[in-house]
Amino acid sequence: MAKGMREVKRQIKSTQNMKQITKAMEMVAASKLRRAQEAAQAARPYSEKIQEVVSNIAAGTKGIKNPILLARDIKKTGYLIITSDRGLAGGFNANLLRTMIQTIRQNHKSPDEYTIFVVGRKGRDFLKKRNFPIMGEVTGLSDSPTFADIKTLASKAVQNYVDGHYDELYLVYNKFHNAISQEPTLNRILPLEVTGSKAVANYEYEPSPEEVLDVLLPKYAETLVFSALLESKAGEFGARMNAMGNATRNATDFISRLTIVYNRARQASITQEITEIVAGANAQG
């Protein structure tokens, strides 16, 4: 009985230590989530402005032949998937990768029909282990990534589309709604679908509008990738905060159950000792 009580007490202590860790991780994730949300919001004005400028130019220019705007027959598809470097975030990565695999199986018959760019160690390791064709990767991003961190990969993904290595490019990422809701999302970003502005501003461009578009369109596509990365980061911290909160609550419940078991065992041990003392006294009397 004593040995069993010591084991239960050891489990309680171990679970209490784990609870302290998960509680600390929950608080850290909450703090990082707040900063990630602020970063995503700060990037929106630039993204919206460049979209406005591109839409104005495209709406006021006839006969645009930029390959980023022109649709073509789909023979090969590119995917840029954004995952995290670390785990302990519930189903954040698993749900996204499951969506990715389902999409590939439904739309492609062989690896020759698609290629993949991947952000994040979790996605990179998962895809490499299963021999998916990876054209480029970025891992080890900070918790507050900058555009420079993703520019090389985003530029490579856009340029490979322009060069005709594939005929469409999809972003695959977790769209952030709130701390408990991140939605796996597939968003086609190439060819770009630029909506015409309701009122075309009367701007004069130097050099020509076509040459301005040649510069702005790749930057616009790269901005879409960066915006998705910021949303994914916010979703990652939200998922981790939620997962660690659940772990903390589960640890609390487990400690309560173990404490009841320990108290019952202790009570049974005391009762047994009293019974043995009384029995010994009666035997001598």
Q: What's the CATH code of the domain at 95?
A: 3.40.1380.10
Write down which residue in 226, 242, 258 finishes a domain: 242
**Predicted pLDDT of residue 164:** 93
**Predicted pLDDT of residue 1:** 53
Do both 166 and 108 map to the same domain?
yes
**Predicted pLDDT of residue 202:** 64
Residue 201's pLDDT band (cuts 50, 70, 90): low
Residues 259-265: contacts with CB within 8 Å, 24+ apart?
259/12, 261/8, 262/5, 262/8, 262/9, 262/12, 265/1, 265/4, 265/5, 265/8
pLDDT at 24 over 90: yes
Residue 69's pLDDT band (cuts 50, 70, 90): confident
State the Cα–Cα distance between residues 28 and 15, nearest whole angstrom.
20
Per residue in 130-183, pLDDT (tens digit) is 999 999 999 999 999 999 999 999 999 999 999 999 999 999 999 998 888 899
33-47, 108-122, 160-174, 268-282, range with the lowest pLDDT:
268-282
Closest among 85, 17, 26 to 247, alpha carbons compared: 26
Closest among 41, 116, 110 to 79, alpha carbons compared: 116
**Structural domain total, the chain:** 2
Do both 201 and 278 map to the same domain?
no
Do both 226 and 256 map to the same domain?
no
pLDDT at 129 over 90: yes
pLDDT at 45 over 70: yes
**Predicted pLDDT of residue 266:** 84
Alpha-carbon Rg for the chain in angstroms: 28
Do both 22 and 100 map to the same domain?
no
pLDDT at 277 over 80: no
Do both 39 and 133 map to the same domain?
yes
Tokens of 16: 């209490």
Ramachandran sector of residue 71 (left: φ over 0; alpha: ψ -120 to 50; beta: rest): beta
The whole domain housing 105 covers: 31-242
Do both 47 and 144 map to the same domain?
yes
Pair 188, 181: CB distance under 8 Å: no
pLDDT mean over 190-196: 75
Per residue in 47-60, pLDDT (tens digit) is 878 877 787 777 76
Do both 50 and 157 map to the same domain?
yes
Higher pLDDT, 202 or 84: 84
**Predicted pLDDT of residue 196:** 55
**Predicted pLDDT of residue 178:** 83
pLDDT at 61 over 90: no
**Predicted pLDDT of residue 203:** 64
Do both 168 and 272 map to the same domain?
no
Do both 125 and 73 map to the same domain?
yes
State the Cα–Cα distance between residues 107 and 102, nearest whole angstrom.
9
Beta-bridge partner residues of 175: 183
Q: What's the CATH code of the domain at 15?
A: 1.10.287.80
> What is the residue-averaged pLDDT of the chain?
88
Do both 57 and 85 map to the same domain?
yes
Do both 10 and 116 map to the same domain?
no
Do both 136 and 154 map to the same domain?
yes
